[in-house]
Structure 1
Amino acid sequence: MFLVKHYVTRSKIHGLGVFTQVPIRAGDTVWRYDPMFDVDIPVAALQKFPEDLAQTVLHHAEYIPHLGIFRLGNDGDMFMNHSKDPSLIDRGEEMIAARDMAVGTELTCDYGQVHVLGFENALQPLLEAAA
């Protein structure tokens, strides 16, 4: 769940992106997992989803291998795009600002650390392992 005011609009990176409505300082906690707000979806449950909903999860949720779940945010988090120079640093249950950010900065993460499988083409082996 984002801890800062944010908005979703067109991104220069890909489709829609999430942007800060407030200035953020380097090191500030910007996002924190909240089990009352974010949704954890077991890998095996994806097999029961209609294809379009499974694709939504694959492209908008983080896959957490050691838990065997997809974590889907219920706010602008689901529109966070990848960057090789991300504005946020993944700390597991939290994300912190990598640098100072002005209003309107796109909030990005590194998909090498935050695994978004829709961009890794890794679904089929995962579903077969869960079966």
Structure 2
Amino acid sequence: MLLVKTKLGISFIHGIGLFAAQFIPKNTVTWEYSPYFDTSYEEADVERMSPSAKEQFLKYAYFDNILCRYVLCFDDQRFINHCSESHNILSTVRRDVAAVDIYEEEELVCNYNCYDDTYFIRLGIQEITVTRTIQSS
């Protein structure tokens, strides 16, 4: 569940991105897993999906290795993009924290491999390495 104000916008990394709609100070928790808000699915649930539904689901879900289930964020957190080199969000399977001060209108980006090292393999895509400049104070 997102804990800061955000909005969606056009990403320079990929498609739609998640952007700050407020100033977010360093060390602020920006998102936290909530079993009452985010949904989780067993592998068998995913296997029963139609091919097109499964493809769409796996694009936005991540695998929680603590729950041993796929998690689909209910809110716009599912639009956070990946940047392996210069992310401004530190992620785990249960919580995201601002790594630096994040300014309004700045895209929130994380390293998917920090909480789901199977994402790119599952989707059969090559990880895109993007380097970006993060504003710092």
TM-score by length of 1: 0.85
Q: Secondary structure at the match of 1:99?
A: coil
Q: Secondary structure at the match of 1:18?
A: strand
Report matched runs for 1:51-130 at 5 Å.
51-84=51-84, 85-115=86-116, 117-121=118-122
Supply the AA of the counterpart residue of 2:115.
V
Q: Secondary structure at the match of 1:112?
A: helix
Q: Are the equivalent residues in 1 in contact too, given 2:112–2:119 (CA < 8 A)? A: no
CA RMSD of aligned residues (A): 1.7
Instruction: Give the aligned partner of residue 21 of structure 1.
Output: 21
CA drift at 1:117: 4.5
Q: What is the alpha-carbon distance in structure 2 between the residues aligned to residue 43 and residue 116 of structure 1?
A: 16
Q: Are the equivalent residues in 1 in contact too, given 2:59–2:123 (CA < 8 A)? A: no
Greater shift in the superposed pair: 42-51 or 19-28:
42-51
Q: Unaligned regions of 5+ residues in structure 2, if any?
A: 125-137
Q: What is the alpha-carbon distance in structure 2 between the residues aligned to residue 7 and residue 22 of structure 1?
A: 10
Supply the AA of the counterpart residue of 2:32.
R
Instruction: Give the aligned partner of residue 129 of structure 1.
Output: none
Cα distance change on mapping 1:63 and 1:92 into 2, 3 Å: closer
Cα distance change on mapping 1:56 and 1:90 into 2, 3 Å: same
Provide runs of 4+ in structure 1 moved above 6 Å.
Answer: none
Fraction of identical pairs, as percent: 27
Q: What is the alpha-carbon distance in structure 2 between the residues aligned to residue 68 and residue 105 of structure 1?
A: 33
TM-score by length of 2: 0.82
Supply the AA of the counterpart residue of 1:100.
D
The size of the alignment, in residue pairs, is 123
Q: What is the alpha-carbon distance in structure 2 between the residues aligned to residue 58 and residue 119 of structure 1?
A: 10
CA drift at 1:89: 0.6
